Amino acid sequence: MTVHDQKPSDPLGLRNLDTIEPGYDGWSQIESALRDHQSNKRSWRKTGGWLAVAASLVLVISVVWINTQNSLPTTGLATSSENSASVQMEDNIFALIGLSQSMEEQVAQLRQETSSMPAESAIYVAELEDLIAQIDNELSMTPDSIDLWGQRVNLMLDLAQIYQQQWEIDYGRMASL
């Protein structure tokens, strides 16, 4: 008898045990739940994007509507209502300036929290930042323009949305590890 012909020793007698099939593991349900969860996350991202677009449109429409209401010609003598219209217009500008500043802070925070970005998104970010710089230049010449402040806020909303989406993607990657 050679070394290869010898059967390995089985001191515990495990060869004599009956073979059994593993029981139900539930993997198909786990896999299905994971797919449903990923689908729901995508759905929420799309919904969040559409909500941001809708909010931007509502803001633009309300600013334009208020601007047209304030610029309608008045008939008769100058009254205190003209003064209240100018106060209301100043309030709208201050509200837009405040919104713009808060969006600046939000974008700065999102920029810090976002690790990396695909080239396509980086191109959009660069284009939006260029447009914001152009509006800032125009605002330096006409700082009381409601339209320019509205455009700036909308561009900041778009910029924040890109960073928010990237942050959600990064967070999803980390959560899946």
Tens of pLDDT, residue by residue over 136-162, are: 999 999 988 888 888 998 899 888 888
Is 116 part of any domain? yes
This model's pTM is above 0.75: no
Is residue 104 within 8 A of residue 156, CB to CB? The reply is yes
Question: Which of helix, strand or coil describes residue 71?
Answer: helix
Is 170 part of any domain? yes
User: Whole-angstrom Cα distance, residue 168 to residue 49?
Assistant: 12
User: Whole-angstrom Cα distance, residue 163 to residue 108?
Assistant: 10
Is 57 part of any domain? yes
Neighbours of 24 (CB within 10 A): 7
Q: What is the pLDDT of residue 2?
A: 54
Looking up tokens 């139900």, which residue turns up? 24
Is 8 part of any domain? no
Query: Containing domain of residue 123, as a range?
Result: 43-71+87-176
Is 36 part of any domain? no
The count of structural domains within the chain is 1
Is 142 part of any domain? yes
